[in-house]
Structure 1
């Protein structure tokens, strides 16, 4: 299973190794959200089109999400530390390129490069973590810390961006990655031995191409249809993407060594847990982006003020993520999953009272209530995925968990963001396809400004309501389909990752 670790490493080295791993994990998560408050500044500097602005935001998440499973399998076969070192180096190069990008097209390309690098880091980091902590209970705690760092990265991304933009130009939100990457490259070879699993077979390149291409084509079609209306190009792109993803899924069932093991989804708890990784991140990313525009462009708050308003929700999210593994030992995964979805649904509904004249209190309350659900989502998904498979498949299982997070992050902006854009296009003044684009036009009458702001808020309400309904539906599904005991069974020292489905305990 391992070239160097035939026994559990000393506890101190394991925890130091965890500390080293958390650096790039924090960055990969943070860069999924750090532009939410920075986009108005980026728009002023580079003047992207509405379509380019959405791609700047979500190409990163799609690049990460579409390749996570592939790189999880590559790490399982050829060595996870090598992949970590290579990924960290490329991530640093992409960050520097993004910071100094002179055009929207080059910024999109740099963000895509960062996403490819990020997809090498997450599954290998989670697999190395599983190797460092051989004891199941220590591993569960370590994965809880890993999940908390991942959650904290998403949560503090807008805050870090806001603080940096108070003093520096927009490119500083990318340069902040470089010191962390440098420290990782220095200490990782010392504290993390190479971990190469014995998983056989080659990575199927055709599966990688069809999954990544299918995702991008599908979302391209949806985004263009929402922003510009139905036409031949987005419809054909969407259909081609859907066909590609369908063919990918059918191909995995025929391969001896599939890129994605769909048999894992036969377990109800695993399936609901992975959906719980996707849907809350979709809601969080979309509402974080839309409320960032709302606070700055509608209410006129300074970027630092907007960032500080996000702090209570970020704290609740991170703390919930840390304590969830402990609470799950007592209440069980079923209760945790149900609580997750109902908390997010309730929090999203608290955005509905916001108006063009005020709503900061409702915004803070929304982030705090929904933050409980987001924190549970981060904590439960990673531990469930890694605990459900043999150690040699840890990279691939972790990749499925992280894929659900990253695809959710990107889909939220693409789909719910496109829904808000569609509402704005229908109800807005028709002067520009986005609120920021409209407000930058010279000589606007106050009534036009008010109409544009009102249309944007209506779009925010539509996105929040749609995401809330989805969470309510999944919460009801979890309540009805996940049956059996709500607390783990077995010896007192048994791992806390046991899955309970229909009264049967699955380790």
Structure 2
């Protein structure tokens, strides 16, 4: 290869990365943009409370359950092929979802989006593993890839807020079309096809087992946070545990398993997966309460609230790129530990304020957290990929993406559920409310804000002050829990990644 050909090849690798960033941004945006559309969806489609929960949750349930099977299918049939099929299906279903007339139809569309979304994400990371074979270039590429998730999560409120201020609720789903069309065009020309040269046979039972295990786990986590412990929740968790054990035993007994669970015997691999999951846990849990504070306490619009988070996004991107240079001087394990400790510091900043904090304090806390997530996510994802053979990149990518989704669910369910429980126990409802108003105001800060706007100024102000104080108390407690979990995660990473 001549120098000119090598330079051209290097340039095309980075152009290919730009193409792969499109589905990453889309899935991350989709994770946060829907929350801002819920009020308008409720007004337009009049869903029941259960239907509204399914509209929000069904996407994550299907996506988490199918990531491992889709990663395995990508290894077998071609990762680029799966990426392009997923992009086509996701764009088409998103366009349909924008115009559905009923809540039931929207639930079905969201489930289909989860199905095609599961094709997208394992393919992106595994293609990066095959395109960037040089270690330093791969770390930079993964840093950009990881920053895409943070960027999409922060852009979701800004983009969604703008669209909802100017258009109908369905416009938030049409974002997928202009993002994925360039992927289809560029993917055919720029992305190389890659697959496992020795794939195993299609294992329908393993697919059913992992789908049942992951879906039951995610549902039980979300349900216990909303409704508390119950027999159905315990049954779902038990089903998840039983099918998960069955899946692992089946993989260990097959000559060519769908997922090589022996990878977890490698402490570097398992420690990196745990760091990946807990980093996302910290960020999503933080975003859950900071987005409410900025809008419901500080009174900012969705667009203004998103803009407050932009500096943290910039820090996330910079940290992910800087850590690529730092890994030349410090061990990967040390940098992952440092990133997790920065996450802990971000939560500590919120605690020190004594309440949810000023907008400036939250901006600083999110910037510190963003630096930690940028460092830990970049290195942990690189370790996950580099610790397995290239032929198994799809399976490893699927595990990484599953950790991402479970981390996101846990961040919302655990910290969000605790925050909601503390709010319910701490809010003091003034006399003079109807039974319906008391029930609504006692559930969430958003409900209290809505009820307060319907009351006389004095009574409304009294309710709002109590609700905001209860919410702030919950933020302090959940931040303390987040702080403790990040310190524990740093200790775990220190033990498992010593020889990374």
Pick from 426, 437, 457 the counterpart of residue 447 of structure 2.
437
Structure 1 partner of 2:364: 365
Q: Residue 49 of structure 1: CA displacement?
A: 6.1
Range with bigger deviation, 134-143 or 333-342: 134-143
Range with bigger deviation, 95-104 or 120-129: 95-104
SS of the residue 1:198 aligns to: coil
- CA distances 1:356-412 after superposition (whole Å, capped 9, x unpaired): 896212211110111111111321122112211111111111221222112211222
- CA distances 1:193-214 after superposition (whole Å, capped 9, x unpaired): 4323213212322222222222
**Separation of aligned partners in 2, 1:22 and 1:76:** 20
- CA distances 1:418-464 after superposition (whole Å, capped 9, x unpaired): 22222233334451333323433443733333333333333333332
Q: 1:328 to 1:48 in 2, by over 3 A?
A: farther
Kindly indicate whether the alpha-carbon contact (under 8 Å) linking 1:159 and 1:307 is maintained by their aligned counterparts in 2. Answer: yes
Structure 2 partner of 1:18: 17
Pick from 441, 455, 465 the counterpart of residue 470 of structure 2.
455
Q: 1:464 to 1:247 in 2, by over 3 A?
A: farther
**Separation of aligned partners in 2, 1:119 and 1:460:** 33
Number of equivalences: 479
- CA distances 1:35-69 after superposition (whole Å, capped 9, x unpaired): 35554555555566666555544433333232222
After TM superposition, the score normalised by the length of structure 2 is 0.87
Q: Residue 93 of structure 1: CA displacement?
A: 2.2
- CA distances 1:138-178 after superposition (whole Å, capped 9, x unpaired): 33333333333333223333333234334333332221221
After TM superposition, the score normalised by the length of structure 1 is 0.86
**Separation of aligned partners in 2, 1:243 and 1:190:** 44
Q: 1:289 to 1:275 in 2, by over 3 A?
A: same
Q: Residue 123 of structure 1: CA displacement?
A: 1.6
> Within the alignment, does 1:184 sit opposite 2:183 as a pair?
yes
> Within the alignment, does 1:419 sit opposite 2:431 as a pair?
no
Kindly indicate whether the alpha-carbon contact (under 8 Å) linking 2:139 and 2:378 is maintained by their aligned counterparts in 1. Answer: no
Structure 2: unaligned runs, 5 residues or longer? 1-5, 430-437
Kindly indicate whether the alpha-carbon contact (under 8 Å) linking 1:8 and 1:132 is maintained by their aligned counterparts in 2. Answer: no
Kindly indicate whether the alpha-carbon contact (under 8 Å) linking 2:281 and 2:411 is maintained by their aligned counterparts in 1. Answer: yes
**Separation of aligned partners in 1, 2:101 and 2:413:** 24
Kindly indicate whether the alpha-carbon contact (under 8 Å) linking 1:278 and 1:405 is maintained by their aligned counterparts in 2. Answer: yes
SS of the residue 1:437 aligns to: helix
**Separation of aligned partners in 2, 1:34 and 1:251:** 38
**Separation of aligned partners in 1, 2:57 and 2:475:** 18
Structure 1 partner of 2:97: 98
Structure 1 partner of 2:489: 474
Kindly indicate whether the alpha-carbon contact (under 8 Å) linking 2:263 and 2:269 is maintained by their aligned counterparts in 1. Answer: yes
Kindly indicate whether the alpha-carbon contact (under 8 Å) linking 1:287 and 1:463 is maintained by their aligned counterparts in 2. Answer: no
**Separation of aligned partners in 2, 1:116 and 1:362:** 39
Q: 1:98 to 1:461 in 2, by over 3 A?
A: farther
How big is the alpha-carbon RMSD for the aligned residues of Structure 1 and Structure 2?
Answer: 2.8
Range with bigger deviation, 427-436 or 294-303: 427-436
Structure 2 partner of 1:125: 124
**Separation of aligned partners in 2, 1:238 and 1:302:** 38
SS of the residue 1:32 aligns to: helix
Structure 1 partner of 2:394: 395
Q: 1:248 to 1:423 in 2, by over 3 A?
A: farther
Q: 1:367 to 1:160 in 2, by over 3 A?
A: same
Q: Residue 114 of structure 1: CA displacement?
A: 1.9
Structure 1: unaligned runs, 5 residues or longer? 1-6, 484-499, 502-507
Structure 2 partner of 1:321: 320
Q: 1:210 to 1:415 in 2, by over 3 A?
A: farther
Q: Residue 179 of structure 1: CA displacement?
A: 0.8
**Separation of aligned partners in 2, 1:381 and 1:106:** 39
